Structure 1
Amino acid sequence: MRIRATVAAVTGALALTALAVPAAQAAGGGSSSHRAEIAEVFAQHAAAKTGLRAAATVQGDLNVSFSDFRIAKAIKVGTTKHVSTVVTYTLTHGADVDIASDSFASFPLIYRGSSVTPDSVQGGDAPAICVARTATTATCKGTIDIYPGETDPDLKLRNAWAGTWHGAGIALDLDSEKSALQVDGLGTTLVQRNSTLTVNASPEPVKKGATVTVTGRLSRANWEDHKYHGFTGVLVKLQFRKKGSSTYTTLKTVKTDSTGNLKTTTKATVDGYYRYSFAGTTTTPAVNATADFVDVK
């Protein structure tokens, strides 16, 4: 089964507008019927919570709450490859909630922007697996599955959305339409545009005391055209590691040009490895180039 979430602002609160469910659960009405029913549930939540403040919980008839939401600090997303990140959380529920029922499902989401009018929501390909710990608590493990090559306008990532995303938890009883939705306060992660970095030091070999020219390029994923483009105007460190050592020393800091290219010079002293190192930002992950060895004669 695949669960993919799209998002809409419905009278000022978070609402799901599409949710795929298994064929077995769709019997009698089809998956589109279930999606419509679930969307209606969330629309009802939204209508009841106009002006929802951050860190609030929208609760339906289903008596559950979420805590201990754990997700990777950062998710690196490229241009085409599917990225999956594990999320764990604790589900607390009433004694009358049967989490082992075929009609019960819970899963994590992450959303970008305000919980009132989010820019985007990303979910998982399947419900979380919840294991009972007590009569009223369960430990759940799900995924966030991101497809940067997605063309659906409701799911397609935008470059401007790189940065901090917030966690949310969902619980549903698909048979009764009972539900609970927590839209804020569960945690955060960085969804970042993946980066690449290259280096080339020349000439090779080089005479001791001569000039070594070190070039390279810093690029990052563009989620809108599914290509990598130069990351311009950012600082990158040129580092050197002497042959036989495991420690890099920063020689200087260089700024990328208008196409993401790097170029600088240094003096050759001993055999060793040159690399560029980018410290990263909230929108773009840190990356080190694969070092280039220079033999000094």
Structure 2
Amino acid sequence: MNRAEFHVADSCIGCGKCVLVCPGGVLSLGEDHKPRIKDFSEFGWIGHGCWRCEHCLAVCPQGAIRILGHKPEDSLPPVSPDSAAPFMDALIAVRHSHRRYLDRNVEKDIIDDMVARLGNAPNGSNKQQVEFTLIDDKEQMKIFRSTAYNRMTELAEQGVYPEGFEGIYYEDMKNWEKTVRPDMLLCGVPHALIPHAPIGSGEYRADVLVAGTYFELLCASRGLGSVMLTFPLNALKQMPEIKSMLGIPEDHYIGMIIGFGYPEIEYARGTQRQIPPERVHRLTFK
């Protein structure tokens, strides 16, 4: 049974590259030097099946392989290092954590496109288990923010603070509302994306953090501001009834909340931060 919908066109030259890059080891060359896929019961590592990584489709020099209903002609071509490297260098340097946003929705087609592209983010064994909770309407975000903020304030008045932000540290966060952020909890973001994955399955911590990092770069490439927020997670631990509004299963790991939207303040240039040599530990073995 060809569960992966794996098909090889006559243009295949039998180079075997698809076999060499298949992490699941489900491909082999037949006597005719054409790749074949073995039968398997389920996708992924556990089922000894196709990992759904599409490496075979991507590596084929002839564009002869179709898999999972995807055609090679619909794939993006590789980017030349001569043009990609300077662009990526600039993108990383000009990506900033934005803490003030316009009261404006990002167009849904832009949001949908960015979230869909997270399917290309690396994840352990290509399990593709990260789920995304999304607040894509600023009015819905205001409801959640107001509800959570008011409850956080009530708890603080009772001497119950977010973990790690007791007393004076909470007041420091509160004072920041006078300058850098309009609200100490969620920075007034119009939208939020929360990657989460089942605890104990695969590389769930790394998968969630990588997905969040990729989303930040996608935002930067589209002129959007973003900020990785962990303080709200500490606050939400103190108010499970508010956290339940997000509908995230209790057995899922949450690494951050990513706030995003159109920035109120535009940055004129990138930063010049670099890793100093003393933080790079080069190994040599004899």
With the length of structure 2 as denominator, give the TM-score of the two structures: 0.24
By percentage of residues, which structure has more helix?
2
Q: Larger radius of gyration, structure 1 or 2?
A: 1
TM-score (norm 1): 0.24
Using CA pairs under 8 Å that are at least 6 residues apart, name the structure with larger relative contact order, 1 or 2.
2
